[in-house]
């Protein structure tokens, strides 16, 4: 097996003070022709929370947990942290690894599912960072892990806890309640060239089955593109209105497309969706993300062990596990129209 001497955690990034918000959004949207007024609108979501995204803090908490977990498996790997769009930048992390004498590293990308923006783009970012650092170490990304048993189990626990809270609010009406699974919407052109939707739908079905709750839906949130470009639908807010019209007594919103409670979860779900549910008189509980859940931390360690020691690949559910190395043509970049929008960290 290859002899790896470091682990690199790769994420999207997010601002940590108000003055960073607009420069961060400009980084995210560079070259896309996004109007300034659109950036200003998205910036207000950050300012609502003091101008800080919690994504970096939550990644640092995951790294701290991994620094305790990896030695339990006999793994002595220093962990580095690099982002695509804000400090600590990926290029700086690669430079740090090179300066420390790292020769061959593994990379954990904080995205469980397969699509251009959640997988292929990160692979390109890693190679660009390596190209910017002469003598950079080789970096082998870990596989997409949407159906790793530990990842699924952590979400079963999170969604189950939210169902318990909703049950306390609804009493005997819980069987009629709905689990509404959410993930970041992407353009249909991107969805059609990847297994993103299929993987999410499989996990939603699997989590619901394990909880013994058959009433569930998969919907989308945080759309950021121009209205003339088709994206995955329905939107979470439209779906909430439809469920209220059906007389659904209450919902659990489970953001299984996200690993941490960052701005797109906090604003789009905890603010917008919660306020809409309150206005409609429909009880709502939002399930937590896996974040630094112990079983998820163990999952990352097990993904590392698959590569370091050649342990068997673990998966659950009807879909096969993702390969260690993506095929050259998988999850290609779709043509991007002008003004395609800004994702948030």
Residue range 307-337, pLDDT digits in tens: 999 999 999 999 999 999 998 889 998 875 5
Do the domain assignments include residue 327?
Answer: no
CATH code for the domain in which residue 89 is found: 3.40.50.1400
Q: How far apart are CA 174 and CA 167, in angstroms?
A: 5
Residues 131 and 180 in one domain: no
Chain mean pLDDT for the chain: 95
Do the domain assignments include residue 200?
Answer: yes
Q: What pTM does this model have?
A: 0.95
Q: How far apart are CA 9 and CA 62, in angstroms?
A: 9
Residues 242 and 175 in one domain: yes
Among 255, 286, 317, identify where a domain stops: 286
Q: Are the C-beta atoms of 260 and 59 separated by less than 8 Å?
A: yes
Residue range 235-284, pLDDT digits in tens: 999 999 999 999 999 999 999 999 999 999 999 999 999 999 999 999 99
Q: How many CB atoms lie within 10 A of CB 136?
A: 19
Instruction: Identify the bridge partners of residue 254 per DSSP, sorted by sequence position.
Output: 181
Q: How far apart are CA 37 and CA 51, in angstroms?
A: 17
Q: How far apart are CA 202 and CA 89, in angstroms?
A: 33
Residues 138 and 267 in one domain: no
Instruction: Supply the range of the domain harboring residue 131.
Output: 6-146+294-308
Do the domain assignments include residue 177?
Answer: yes
Phi, psi of 193 (to 5 degrees): -105, 15
Do the domain assignments include residue 338?
Answer: no
Residues 110 and 204 in one domain: no
Residues 127 and 182 in one domain: no
Residues 22 and 104 in one domain: yes
Residues 60 and 192 in one domain: no
Do the domain assignments include residue 198?
Answer: yes
Do the domain assignments include residue 328?
Answer: no
- Residue 338 confidence (pLDDT): 43
- DSSP letters, 127-168, are HHHHHTSTTPPEEEEPPP-TT-HHHHHHHHHHHHHHHHHHHH
Do the domain assignments include residue 319?
Answer: no
Residue range 199-227, pLDDT digits in tens: 999 999 999 999 999 999 999 999 987 78
Number of domains into which the chain is organized = 2
CA-to-CA separations, 87 to 15, 106, 216, 273, 333, in angstroms, rounded:
8, 20, 38, 30, 25
Do the domain assignments include residue 314?
Answer: no
339 pLDDT higher than 50: no
- Residue 340 confidence (pLDDT): 47
117 pLDDT higher than 70: yes
């Amino acid at each position: 097996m290859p002899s790896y001497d470091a682990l690199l955690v790769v994420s999207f990034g997010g601002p940590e003070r108000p003055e960073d918000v607009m420069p961060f959004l400009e980084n995210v949207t560079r070259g896309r022709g996004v109007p300034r007024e659109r950036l200003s609108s998205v910036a207000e979501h950050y300012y609502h929370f003091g101008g800080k995204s919690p994504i970096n803090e939550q990644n640092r908490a995951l790294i701290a947990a991994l620094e305790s977990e990896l030695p339990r498996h006999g793994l002595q790997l220093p962990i580095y942290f690099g982002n695509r769009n804000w400090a600590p930048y990926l290029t700086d992390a690669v430079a740090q690894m090179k300066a420390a004498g790292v020769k061959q590293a593994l990379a954990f990308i904080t995205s469980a599912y397969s699509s251009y923006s959640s997988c292929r783009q990160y692979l390109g970012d890693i190679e660009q960072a390596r190209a910017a650092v002469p003598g950079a170490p080789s970096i082998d990304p870990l596989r997409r892990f949407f159906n790793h048993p530990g990842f699924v189990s952590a979400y079963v626990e999170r969604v189950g806890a939210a169902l318990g809270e909703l049950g306390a609010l609804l009493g005997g009406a819980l069987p009629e309640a709905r689990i509404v699974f959410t993930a970041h919407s992407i353009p249909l052109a991107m969805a059609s060239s990847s297994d993103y939707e299929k993987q999410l739908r499989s996990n939603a079905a699997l989590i619901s089955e394990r909880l013994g709750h058959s009433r569930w839906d998969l919907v989308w949130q945080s759309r950021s593109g121009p209205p003339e470009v088709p994206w995955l639908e329905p939107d979470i807010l439209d779906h909430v209105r439809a469920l209220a019209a059906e007389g659904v007594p209450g919902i659990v919103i489970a953001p299984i497309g996200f690993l941490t409670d960052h701005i797109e979860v906090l604003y789009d779900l905890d603010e917008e969706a919660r306020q809409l549910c309150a206005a409609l008189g429909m009880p709502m509980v939002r399930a937590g993300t896996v974040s630094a859940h112990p079983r998820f931390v163990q999952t990352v360690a097990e993904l590392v062990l698959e590569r370091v020691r050649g342990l068997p690949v673990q998966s659950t559910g009807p879909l096969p596990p993702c390969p260690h190395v993506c095929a050259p043509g998988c999850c290609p970049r779709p043509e991007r129209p002008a003004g395609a929008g800004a994702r948030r960290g």
